[in-house]
Amino acid sequence: MNSLLSILQTVLMAPAESGQQANSIVPFDVLWQHVNTLDLIEALTFVAFGTVWLFYGWRIFKILVTISFGLLGMTLGIWANQQLIDGNSFWLGLICAAFFAILSVPFMRWGVSVLGALSGAVLTAGAWMALGLPREYVWAGGLIGLIAGGMISFIIFKIAVILFTSLGGSVLLAVGALAIMCHHLMSQTEFKDFVLQNPWFLPAMVLAPMAIGAFLQNKFIKAAPDWNA
């Protein structure tokens, strides 16, 4: 859990720490530092939870939405505490986590649709980077996915569930797999050089499982007539 929160904080704090990486869209060094701290047990835990989330998230999507909004609230609370109060207290993070988690319950369908739209943005932005298109315009690829994913998610709720759960599971699976490869399949230096020399690798690590998960979830939902979103 601490590792997951660290990674979430990395994403939110990236603009403040990207001064030395102005030409990089992804704060790779900071993200690598957190992935590198995962031991084998934590990495396997990420892979296990990611696999369940990836293929069967549609069964427990309401719990996953509440957890996701709770983690988002906690991360924003910690960030706000560091920026506004300049302290190490975690109480603001806990308060924000509880508020966001509780708020997600009555607005579940809206929450899933918003997460589906954001997943569409990540999908197209990742595809933009994987295809080697100009990185300074990656925001355009993300914007296309945000608009398209938002429109589809608010019209067809099932697609929002599939997008959100397949992305969430894929990210957890990718983080765990990266940690395992980094520590056990290759030396850290060789693996880091490989990732840096192949900018398509990280997006592919997320997009490939996401596509497989979305395809299988769609089949699972069709075969479960009792499923009610």
Task: Please report the pLDDT score of residue 41 as a whole number.
Answer: 86
In a domain, 53, yes or no: yes
Which residue bears the tokens 């197209």? 124
Q: What is the pTM of this model?
A: 0.72
Give pLDDT tens digits along the chain (229 positions).
Answer: 444 445 444 444 433 343 334 344 555 666 677 777 778 888 888 899 999 888 888 888 888 899 888 888 888 888 887 777 665 667 788 888 899 999 888 988 888 888 888 888 888 888 887 777 777 788 888 888 888 888 887 888 888 888 888 888 898 888 888 888 877 666 667 777 777 777 788 888 888 898 898 898 888 888 777 666 5
For residue 107, what are the domain limits? 2-8+30-222
In a domain, 14, yes or no: no
DSSP-based three-state secondary structure for 90: coil
19 DSSP assignment: G
CA of 94: how far to CAs of 38, 89, 104, in Å?
Answer: 24, 10, 15
Q: What's the CA angle centered on 142, arms 83 and 29, to 5 degrees? A: 50
In a domain, 23, yes or no: no
In a domain, 227, yes or no: no
| The two three-digit tokens of residue 46, written as one number | 């990420």
SS3 content of the chain, % helix, strand, coil (to 5): 85, 0, 15
CA distance 176 to 225: 33
Task: Please report the pLDDT score of residue 17 as a whole number.
Answer: 40
Task: Please report the pLDDT score of residue 177 as a whole number.
Answer: 87
| The two three-digit tokens of residue 146, written as one number | 């945000």
Task: Please report the pLDDT score of residue 102 as a whole number.
Answer: 92
Question: How many structural domains compose the chain?
Answer: 1
In a domain, 175, yes or no: yes
In a domain, 177, yes or no: yes
184 DSSP assignment: I
